[in-house]
Amino acid sequence: MTNSSATEPDNTRAAPPPSLLTDAAFRLLVEAVEDYAIFLLDANGHVATWNNGARRIKGYDAGEIVGRHFSVFYPPDDIAAGKPQHTLATAARAGRVEDEGWRIRKDGSRFWANVVITALHDEQGNPIGFAKVTRDMTDRLRLAELQHARELSAHVQTALENERASIARELHDDLGQQLAALKMQVSLLDTTPQNARFAQQALTQIDTIIGSLRRIAAGLRPPVLDDLGLFAAIDWLVCDYRRRYDLTIHLDIEGDEAGIDTTASTSLFRLVQEALTNVVRHARASEVRIAIVRASSRCTLTIEDDGCGADIRRGRAAGTFGLLGMGERVRQLGGAIEFRSAPGAGFRIAVDIPLKGVADDDPTASPVP
């Protein structure tokens, strides 16, 4: 006969020791809680008890707060509006009330609180007071606000890119065609010496305007990004900076563009553009190295220059707002960005983003070094 007592669970229930069923044991439990302010109010709303969580969250010691009215925790505008009294009246009538809003600590600072107030009654059903549980929700509120700000930022970035593309198309298609027609009309002027000189000057000015127009349109939204893709657009951008600023730029691209969608493509292009702009404006560099690797289910981008560098640990890097914008773009893609620099040691930007719809065929692949 098999003894199954070693393998089957013991379903018998042990009675709790009497010492754990006393009011004193319950008070010890409440006193030990530090993540919640748990305390009692008398029937008029005066603080009757105080626990460690209340002291930690609200800043008062028991001797400073017991006996005072709980309205001391409310902002002045809520007190003026009668919110504390209304809250107690609602709890007394409904048995329980839950509320979220700003509350005041002893030092005057505000925190966002989730508050539950429960009416208490004696054995005959007579009201004797209230139990109040408060949780500090400030971090959660800030996280929600940050998430909302990031969603709004992503929406603004998308709207901005769409508007840039629209303006670039209008400049290229509408004004470009009008200037081309004007150029044709000027070239048909009478060939008298006076008209010929005027025509040549006008043609030169029109060519200059057309060139400026194309450069402005390309800066807003380079057609090559939409027509030929990210890698071709970055190659075009690098060639443009080489020509305009006499800058040595090494570009190394590995892999293909699989999984790099329109949003990621635009963001990566803008990252390179912003980095090169910072190099020209602030770095006093002579050489830049750009590497893009699309491997497995990730894309990495590194940009390094040999310029003057910056003390980024103390937030003294020139173009700091540009760096913040770059970081926000990467976060919107679910990626990571790292800045490395020191005075006199150049500047390095490393970006790593996940790609959508691409299988990770290399489980050992690591993020940007």
pLDDT tens, residue by residue, 206-227: 777 777 766 676 666 777 888 8
At 153, is the pLDDT very low, low, confident or very high (cuts 50, 70, 90)?
low
β-sheet bridge partners, residue 287 = 248
Concatenated DSSP letters of 258-323: TT--HHHHHHHHHHHHHHHHHIIIII--SEEEEEEEEETTEEEEEEEE-S----GGGT--TTHHHH
* Topology agreement, domain 24-136 and domain 228-369: no
- pLDDT reported for residue 9: 52
The predicted model scores a pTM of 0.49
- pLDDT reported for residue 7: 52
Provide the token pair at 109: 């600072």
Span between the terminal Cα atoms of the chain, in Å: 63
- pLDDT reported for residue 283: 85
Could you tell me which of 294, 293, 297 has the C-alpha nearest to residue 357? 297
State pLDDT tens for residues 5-31.
445 555 555 444 454 344 565 566 566
- Lowest-pLDDT choice from 10-19, 59-68, 233-242: 10-19
| 24-136: CATH number | 3.30.450.20
The average pLDDT across 121-144 equals 85
Query: For the chain, what are the domain ranges?
Result: 24-136, 137-221, 228-369
Residues 224 and 175: their CA atoms lie apart, in Å, by: 19
At 365, is the pLDDT very low, low, confident or very high (cuts 50, 70, 90)?
very low
- pLDDT reported for residue 219: 66
Decide yes or no: CATH 3.30.420.10 for domain 228-369. no
The average pLDDT across 316-321 equals 55
From residue 171, alpha-carbon distances to 227, 244, 345 in Å are: 17, 22, 41
At 115, is the pLDDT very low, low, confident or very high (cuts 50, 70, 90)?
very high
At 168, is the pLDDT very low, low, confident or very high (cuts 50, 70, 90)?
low
State pLDDT tens for residues 180-214.
777 776 776 656 676 777 777 777 777 777 777 66
